Amino acid sequence: MSIFVDETTKVVIQGVSPTSQGLYHGLRNRAYGTQVVAGTNPKRGGEEIEGIPVFATVAEAVEATGANASFISVPPPFAADAVLEAAAAGVPFVVCITEGIPAQDEALAYNRLVRDFPGTRLLGPNCPGIISPGKCNIGITSGDIALAGGPVGIVSRSGTLTYQALHELSQQGIGQTTCVGIGGDPVPGTSFIDCLRAFEDDPDTRAVMMIGEIGGSAEEEAAEFIAASMTKPIVSYIAGVTAPPGRKMGHAGAIISGSKGTAQAKMQALAEAGVTVAQNPTEAGEAMVDVVRKLG
């Protein structure tokens, strides 16, 4: 199985045009085998672009095609409204890869989702998206580095380290059930805990790789959940061991404030929860190889 998406997922690309990033990545997703069934553009409703029917609104696209997932890569000023439009149209899963959305817009959109649209899950923003190898790919992750049919679920705040984790496991012949990039912004729509819970409930996921980074408390919160609720083995890597306090490193959320959010604190919390904590990405891959071999 997989979590959140599978071969039945039908995707609508919001903000599609002949030159848009949404179209570029959406066509790559379609070439992978993802069901890209519609696009939206209020100025191009009724047109067809690269074989994709375009509708003026998400609601029209959902009614006509049965789309149950949305892919958003529109510019930052419009991204929050795009998310809420998808939710209002009843789309249950929204992937937003847009980077640079104002934090206030992120917080307002997230709280609107929680309050008014509890049936919609947002992945992102500022994330690489999600891939269920061999079934569905929404976002910018290359399908070439993923391997279907394996026992490992991956969840990561870092896009680049998501790709490395996929590649290293695939090189060892270890496939993945689903790989979820949750993004590193301060207000993510989907958390480590959301993914860990879904992986725990997925019978085909037998082990989990969790990749975190400095800043915030998401990893410590995940450690508490792991200690209380996870039965499957977990391997983790936390990026940013040498990061100086007070300096933003990469993602907007990757900043250490005082003694909080350090890599060392996160690594200690995870280790105390029974997680195998690696010192670098390659070591994390090697540790997961050992875990899978023990699982048989």
Task: Please tell me which residue in 10, 121, 206, 251 is annotated as part of the active site.
Answer: 251
Q: Is residue 18 helix, strand or coil?
A: coil
Among candidates 176, 171, 169, 215, which has minimal Cα distance to 195? Answer: 176
Phi and psi angles of residue 168, each rounded to the nearest 5 degrees, phi first: -65, -40
Q: What is the β-pairing status of strands 176-181 and 93-96?
A: unpaired
Measure the CA dihedral 36/18/183/275, to 10°.
40
- Report how far residue 68's alpha carbon sits from residue 62's, in angstroms, rounded to the nearest whole number: 7
Active site residue 251: yes
Query: Please, which residues have CB within 8 angstroms of residue 129's CB and are 6 or more apart in sequence?
Result: 71, 95, 97, 123, 137, 138, 139, 140, 141, 181
Phi and psi angles of residue 289, each rounded to the nearest 5 degrees, phi first: -60, -45
Residues with catalytic roles: 251
